[in-house]
Structure 1
């Protein structure tokens, strides 16, 4: 109850962000406006006004206006029992921390954090006037933390100034400045939600973008164990561990998330179910000092293609190893920086298998995708920090192909030009056939761009709609259909069987048009080079597995100057169209 009668329209026009309640001490009722696609929502603390059941007007016995609004959640005040000698009615965030025990918020305690706030003399930031958001770690979260790691900057990183953020109206994955966002430190906080079956959990993430000797770069994720506690100067959320403090190894992070509602609980369960293979994988993680783990989310394991493979120890080892990069911390920022120079790739624990990264930009938003073993996954949470590495949560399990050759062409952003060329000519239609096995040498987009510099006339004609016949001819040269796909290792083995080296003998692969003669060489870094008609063509991404074959992404098309010639006869096919245009022009005159 507030002593001001306000309709939803009037609430929407309020210059202040709060109303005064009628409770003892007059604690504020915080008003939040959330813009929606259909209509805007209004929240009082964490409760949403049900617009169609609100704005009921009346007058009381004294003739004063009254307005009744229906809300979807009970408003619970913060106050101590009246039996307490000095009861609290409208505490600030610091009053809340200092007198926490008298509030009976079981089963939690905040003594450890309170002590660090007092020792660092940071009480004033929790007493600051206005509307702020405070995150208070409970005592249970201090088990692995050294007290001195909770320094003044870390405490500043637990406060979002000038924003009162209740969980329901706050848009997830939007970053907010903290008090720790200063010249030599950039710390942001965002909310996220993880749904597991019928239950869900709200997490808060601190993202430190600048490291120093005392503060590790990366994201620290904490679960909100008790949310939306209104106080005089904002809102308090109790969290299960301190933000900004990196005190868990990757293994410990996974073990915490192993609980039923954790975002990586299914991944942990699959590792456990893998028996000796899973134990070996966890030992590798435990021994590594600098690693990057791409951990599939819970939803990623619902893919029906996985069921039979997960029970195969050999395949499971390959799948797990595909998600781990050792001796390197691949931060999102570094991948983006390298991506601006070249397409970034990194070797995995799975021998001779790399991960390939792509960054898509949409305004200020950046989306990182990672490809491994024929699977394209999107990073849905990046840069989770651990003492011995970082974790990225992805939306698919790598190493288990689920796409046909056609699907892969259609969805891979690096293969767009080859897909367009094949779609226009009708060549792509066959690539969805799961009764056949394809080996497709696919020039990536950059390969076509580079070729347009060396062979401008040929490439220009190839991509013109009037030359689809020639496009088919060239694409047929790149496609091999056989009983078993030709991996790079298999082609190399066939070459080795001749005991001869290039240029004396080449392997002949049967294409739809004629045989494709080439020679494959493996470099010391396990990359491959194709030799074709005197050309050295690097294989940018070998052995991209699909459900009906493999794709080899190459850095140059199998194309020579003179491959595309237009005879006078072929030009005559356009004569009827020219005649019709001339007749139409004459009739208009």
Structure 2
């Protein structure tokens, strides 16, 4: 009887043990991906005691996170990953106190977008699906969150916090005692001196949660730059009420700074770019409204040390002060060896230090440079062009406009018509288009047949503006077909060419095409003059007439013809005959007031955009289609034939019905 009771008791205990949920300590030992964190934890007496006897929340970095970590690694680091409250993801507030010396906060960000709802602790992303909660052997509730980065506290020099007089500093205390902390070789004395001199301590001492940008001493060269920093500029280095860690903050999202008032308005955003295999993070101040002392435009600075947590938010050390415009366009290009336009500067310098383009950048008073990004120069077609110095000179000039063109001026000029700006390349223009998505406006620019997007507008310089674009202008990368399909100015011609698969020939790389393409505006003018003919061009059973008209605009040959080529062959007095699939195209060409015109069928037609280069030919965008009166009469006659045929069929049907009745 006693033996049976004993067996029953053992069985009950075994079943209870099987049903018991593993503790956090057991969970850590089971998960091989958390072994490095477990090793760190086991070396710390305080952490082990908490795990056995106390309620807690633990943020455990993966082994991969430790492999990427290059900060200080001492036994107390684990305490920055522990809080003495058990907090699930649902209950995480904007901050949670850590067990590290001084109990500095861990900052929580909930980043929501259309696809994800992510949670970050400082700059570490939480693996939401791996969060786990249980009670320990003493019945204390505990929570485990797995993260993808090691949390890095602000630590003093050396391995012990005893060397520092400040625990858990706020932003000003960090600035005041920065020499005591482990921030590499960076020194902050110049900015600290300006903050003290301008009596702006309270900005960095403010309680709450804020983001602070502090320029390092190297950013105060030339020394005159310090004189340009006033109270408003200091305010432009602080984003109130937001703690913004780099990874947890979306690129290009704009935040108002303390320098956002009635007269001066400054916003700040982050952006990232790849330099080889290295990701570089920048911060951009955009003075959208300025005054006599604060120039409008964007100033970009590298973040040289990011994500330093402090008691009242986060600090980012930056390469130079924000808001301060004291460099020329060429100085901005060459400011840093790994800057956002370093490859563009290398290309310019490859032409030699005495090249004309460089000279103009050095002496010009009012310019706008559309500068291709570092990534844009990696295209194989671009690499081939770079080796051709004569061609490269023409391409560089295509990126330069000899006037100041901030983005809002371009958008304003583009409101009622397609805005075109003359470039440093003779008789070549840039053409702009504005795409609107809700409240956001995207600016595109076309030059030499290449359509590029402005990915960073309005970088301010003392002698103008720089707009960073995503492609090198003048180096074609699309066929005539693709250009026609994607250009917003050529929609009507493209849609007409879809009839009877006319457009498909334009993909052919065996031939070279010269295509005189009427822009949409030209077709709309034609519609006003000939509404019925225009309507007929789009009818299904008029495809033959449409194809005949388009054939008159296309020359397929062994070479493509630029407008300059045609001008040599066909001047104002002697026409040149070009073969088409329809009938010979007789053209004369003239130049007037820096514009080209072609004479066809007795009248002159403006070439709105000449020499749009493609990989298999050239497009010339014209302001009037090559349509004859006989084409219009033919469509009208076809309309009458169709009506007559319909009446005849109706008559036959009527007669047949009467026969059946009889």
The alignment's TM-score, normalised by the length of structure 1, stands at 0.91
User: CA–CA distance in 2 between the matches of 1:540 and 1:401?
Assistant: 19
- Residue matched to 1:435: 510
1:19-39 alpha-carbon deviations (Å, 9 max, x no partner)? 122233322211101125554
Say if 2:134 and 2:143, in contact at 8 Å, map to a contact too.
yes
User: CA–CA distance in 1 between the matches of 2:649 and 2:342?
Assistant: 64
Match of 2:365 among 283, 289, 292: 289
- Residue matched to 1:33: 110
- Residue matched to 2:253: 174
Structure 1 residues 511 and 87: CA distance shift in structure 2, 3 A:
same
- Measure how far apart 1:111 and its partner are: 1.1
> Which stretch shows the higher mean deviation, 102-111 or 80-89?
80-89
Say if 1:60 and 1:66, in contact at 8 Å, map to a contact too.
no
Say if 1:8 and 1:55, in contact at 8 Å, map to a contact too.
no
Match of 2:584 among 515, 520, 524: 515
- Residue matched to 1:203: 282
User: CA–CA distance in 1 between the matches of 2:448 and 2:329?
Assistant: 23
User: CA–CA distance in 1 between the matches of 2:95 and 2:169?
Assistant: 16
SS in 2 for 1:551: strand
Alignment of 1:184 with 2:260, yes or no, is no
Alignment of 1:47 with 2:124, yes or no, is yes
Say if 1:357 and 1:368, in contact at 8 Å, map to a contact too.
yes
SS in 2 for 1:224: strand
The answer to which structure has the higher helix fraction is: 2
User: CA–CA distance in 2 between the matches of 1:426 and 1:555?
Assistant: 24
**How many matched pairs?**
566
Match of 2:98 among 2, 21, 34: 21
- Residue matched to 2:330: 251
Say if 2:133 and 2:141, in contact at 8 Å, map to a contact too.
no
- Residue matched to 2:636: 565
SS in 2 for 1:461: helix
SS in 2 for 1:154: helix
- Residue matched to 2:386: 310
- Measure how far apart 1:78 and its partner are: 2.3
> Which stretch shows the higher mean deviation, 556-565 or 388-397?
556-565
- Measure how far apart 1:577 and its partner are: 10
Say if 1:78 and 1:89, in contact at 8 Å, map to a contact too.
no
Say if 1:79 and 1:87, in contact at 8 Å, map to a contact too.
no
- Measure how far apart 1:275 and its partner are: 3.4
Match of 2:598 among 497, 507, 530: 530
SS in 1 for 2:472: coil
Alignment of 1:354 with 2:429, yes or no, is yes
> Which stretch shows the higher mean deviation, 300-309 or 368-377?
300-309
User: CA–CA distance in 1 between the matches of 2:88 and 2:501?
Assistant: 61
* Off by >4 Å, runs of 4+ in structure 1: 36-39, 81-86, 570-579
- Measure how far apart 1:575 and its partner are: 8.4
Structure 1 residues 511 and 276: CA distance shift in structure 2, 3 A:
farther
- Measure how far apart 1:86 and its partner are: 6.5
Structure 1 residues 318 and 334: CA distance shift in structure 2, 3 A:
same
Alignment of 1:110 with 2:188, yes or no, is yes
> Which stretch shows the higher mean deviation, 268-277 or 238-247?
268-277
Say if 2:225 and 2:324, in contact at 8 Å, map to a contact too.
no
- Could you say what the CA RMSD is over the residues aligned between the two structures, in angstroms? 2.4
> Which stretch shows the higher mean deviation, 453-462 or 510-519?
510-519
Alignment of 1:273 with 2:350, yes or no, is yes
Say if 1:79 and 1:88, in contact at 8 Å, map to a contact too.
no
Structure 1 residues 565 and 234: CA distance shift in structure 2, 3 A:
same
- Residue matched to 2:49: none
Alignment of 1:368 with 2:443, yes or no, is yes
SS in 1 for 2:489: helix
- Residue matched to 1:9: 90
User: CA–CA distance in 2 between the matches of 1:361 and 1:577?
Assistant: 51
1:315-354 alpha-carbon deviations (Å, 9 max, x no partner)? 111122111222x122111111111121111121222221
Structure 1 residues 41 and 576: CA distance shift in structure 2, 3 A:
farther
Structure 1 residues 487 and 571: CA distance shift in structure 2, 3 A:
farther
Match of 1:546 among 590, 614, 621: 614
Structure 1 residues 120 and 577: CA distance shift in structure 2, 3 A:
farther
Match of 2:453 among 378, 395, 399: 378
User: CA–CA distance in 2 between the matches of 1:307 and 1:78?
Assistant: 45
SS in 1 for 2:405: coil
- Residue matched to 1:586: none
1:123-162 map, 5 Å = 123-144=201-222, 145-162=224-241
Say if 1:539 and 1:552, in contact at 8 Å, map to a contact too.
yes
1:387-406 alpha-carbon deviations (Å, 9 max, x no partner)? 22221111111111122111
User: CA–CA distance in 1 between the matches of 2:523 and 2:203?
Assistant: 58
- Measure how far apart 1:510 and its partner are: 2.4
1:221-236 map, 5 Å = 221-236=300-315
Give unpaired runs (5+ residues) of structure 2.
Answer: 1-81, 655-662
SS in 1 for 2:322: coil
1:242-264 alpha-carbon deviations (Å, 9 max, x no partner)? 000012222221112433xx322
> Which stretch shows the higher mean deviation, 374-383 or 19-28?
19-28
- Residue matched to 1:95: 173
1:482-515 alpha-carbon deviations (Å, 9 max, x no partner)? 333232223222333xxx64xxx64433222112
User: CA–CA distance in 2 between the matches of 1:291 and 1:83?
Assistant: 53
1:376-420 alpha-carbon deviations (Å, 9 max, x no partner)? 111111111122222111111111112211111011111111111
- Residue matched to 2:463: 388
- Residue matched to 1:587: none
Say if 1:405 and 1:546, in contact at 8 Å, map to a contact too.
yes
- Measure how far apart 1:435 and its partner are: 1.8
SS in 1 for 2:498: helix
Larger radius of gyration: 2
User: CA–CA distance in 2 between the matches of 1:300 and 1:79?
Assistant: 40
Alignment of 1:340 with 2:418, yes or no, is no
User: CA–CA distance in 2 between the matches of 1:311 and 1:148?
Assistant: 44
1:197-234 alpha-carbon deviations (Å, 9 max, x no partner)? 22111000001122322111111000001111111111
User: CA–CA distance in 2 between the matches of 1:511 and 1:323?
Assistant: 34
User: CA–CA distance in 2 between the matches of 1:245 and 1:573?
Assistant: 76
User: CA–CA distance in 1 between the matches of 2:558 and 2:648?
Assistant: 45
Structure 1 residues 90 and 60: CA distance shift in structure 2, 3 A:
farther
Say if 1:46 and 1:73, in contact at 8 Å, map to a contact too.
yes
Alignment of 1:402 with 2:483, yes or no, is no
Say if 1:442 and 1:552, in contact at 8 Å, map to a contact too.
yes
- Measure how far apart 1:534 and its partner are: 4.6
User: CA–CA distance in 1 between the matches of 2:233 and 2:482?
Assistant: 47
Structure 1 residues 481 and 60: CA distance shift in structure 2, 3 A:
same
